[in-house]
Structure 1
């Protein structure tokens, strides 16, 4: 039995007829950019997240860097972000000339809110709360710190489509929520896509202007903007998937619950969900403190796919050498990079497939695998 780490074709097949009908309808409409599908998706996603406004964009990275640009954050400013975040989170900060200030993660693999205040300087302008792996940050503490220090809060919800913090969906708590619709995401598109959510009407209008070359009126450009538009086909397909998102998330929670209940190997550390939150389980990430490569090879021999999210923390990447960090600068993020392993987790995974993954992991013994 061959089991992929993530099977996108399987997920497409769950609702193939609906996707194909919508794609064909958009193609036949003759309108492919900033039309009724984008407008409808923006209304529906804002309603789902619980905000007044949503603006469709070309990617999650665009959502991040344009957010900081429109918040006026740039050269000489600092933004606090978790040290184990995906590198795109950091790029969203540095593309505007601002400096990332890294804070180590907690036991939930998200930013340790207890360490944020110590990282604040007179140059700090915002906190980027990254809801990594489908887990929620401690938004009560983050928002309290931000209010006390007059900071903006941007939520990176790229991996958290539909999970909650104390009854509110992530993406509705900070000043701006940033979403990616990359195909592997919970509400993934069939190509690239992204959006922002906010309750600030002026900010939403500024995003609409900026995404279209800085123009509200055709050929009247107010600023040097971007070409960052969610296209009509992707918006239409996202509208279809959004109809099923709660069911898709429920299925992922069932898969996660089974992993949590049945994985018994003592060489693993299983993920935990923060009190007051739920998880959309974008990834099911275990820690393997001493034998990750051996476990990966054991699973590979049995044709079980796994992934590492992420093998290189941003501060050690070649792209950010100029920041002056070195190995040992952020030991928790570095330790995580050597331990984390994402198990197969996708909609449409069968009970038989998951049982095989669980049994194969439970059989693993370092130095004794054949």
Structure 2
């Protein structure tokens, strides 16, 4: 019995090895490894893909979040609304700026519960950071209403959701700034760490462009001291090539989801239905089940790899102890953390593989 991998990056890379080889040769022979034409081309093409005026190529999605908040004036003592069930980088970026994350519980689809935001606002609240988790869009219409009412900035953590749409608009383009990761596990993935952000605000774009490159507006002119967060030319060229095939990758993941949808026993297995105004890109496919740990071990014995995103909510991590949260503060997120299991959904899965996964999951509960 062959094993089914949660994700197979070696297979992904092997399929495009000739193209990657040509990219390596071109970039190396150009001698242009930092900045220049490859970065400019990627930023133009990503701006076009997202439908925004500006894109900045960076070294990670985490830096994208940090620069976005900094450019919007988030500073020490400010508060930022965000969910407690994201990857830790969302909260870490807030804390590194000296601001305070104010967690708000989530909906059944694991995304921020907009109905609970207003109760958490204070005079110190300056922004909302919705996280489009698993490739599923947050309820941005309601979130933007609240932001407008209270004059709050909106930083979209779209690290897991490149190409995801909400009311026909791509996430990361609805708030003030959209932040993306191109980590190897993402749908649009580099061969290492990389990230980028999107905005329609020229001032934000110019500020972040400078800050990410030592603060150099020109080679010998520095108006503000910056950092080093540049995407390198090789990653930009690789991502530019992969961007051409991104829609096909997303479509295949959506097809894989439909196989799951039609074959998993919904009596024992919960996952939210996609709404008419949503377009999910399925960075991950997360089910919610009883006896999650036993199911995971059962599937492991059947040579089926799974994952958990994420077993411990951020507010219960040791690093977050100083924030003063406790067990029971966010019951929905905490309850979900005990039930969530991520099944393979990557574009290289065969239909027979997904049917086998469904059969084994169903058999566990039957």
- TM-score, normalised to structure 1, is 0.96
**Secondary structure at the counterpart of residue 56 of structure 1:** strand
The answer as to 2:124 corresponding to 1:123 is yes
Contact 1:14/1:348 (CA < 8 Å) preserved in 2?
no
Q: Structure 1 stretches of 5 or more lacking a match?
A: none
Measure, in 1, the Cα distance between the counterparts of 2:68 and 2:56.
11
Superposition pairs for residues 42-53 of structure 1, below 5 Å?
42-53=43-54
The aligned residue for residue 80 of structure 1 is: 81
The aligned residue for residue 312 of structure 1 is: 312
The aligned residue for residue 27 of structure 1 is: 28
Measure, in 1, the Cα distance between the counterparts of 2:162 and 2:21.
23
The aligned residue for residue 295 of structure 2 is: 295
After superposition, the C-alpha distances for 1:186-241 in whole angstroms (9 at most, x for unaligned) are: 10111000011000011101111000111112243322311100110000000010
Provide the alpha-carbon RMSD of the alignment: 1.2
The answer as to 2:171 corresponding to 1:170 is yes
The aligned residue for residue 361 of structure 2 is: 361
Measure, in 1, the Cα distance between the counterparts of 2:108 and 2:301.
30
The aligned residue for residue 144 of structure 1 is: 145
After superposition, the C-alpha distances for 1:317-356 in whole angstroms (9 at most, x for unaligned) are: 1111110111112111111111110001111111221121
The answer as to 2:15 corresponding to 1:3 is no
Superposition pairs for residues 61-72 of structure 1, below 5 Å?
61-72=62-73
Measure, in 1, the Cα distance between the counterparts of 2:27 and 2:123.
50
Contact 2:6/2:307 (CA < 8 Å) preserved in 1?
yes
Superposition pairs for residues 87-102 of structure 1, below 5 Å?
87-102=88-103
The aligned residue for residue 323 of structure 2 is: 323
The aligned residue for residue 338 of structure 2 is: 338
The answer as to 2:234 corresponding to 1:262 is no
Superposition pairs for residues 134-213 of structure 1, below 5 Å?
134-213=135-214
The answer as to 2:213 corresponding to 1:246 is no
Contact 2:260/2:355 (CA < 8 Å) preserved in 1?
no
- Deviation of 1:82 after TM superposition, in Å, equals 1.1
After superposition, the C-alpha distances for 1:219-270 in whole angstroms (9 at most, x for unaligned) are: 4332231110011000000001000000110000000111011111632212
Length, aligned pairs only: 365
Moved over 6 A (4+): none
- Deviation of 1:28 after TM superposition, in Å, equals 1.4
Q: Structure 2 stretches of 5 or more lacking a match?
A: none
- Deviation of 1:66 after TM superposition, in Å, equals 1.2
Measure, in 1, the Cα distance between the counterparts of 2:225 and 2:56.
18
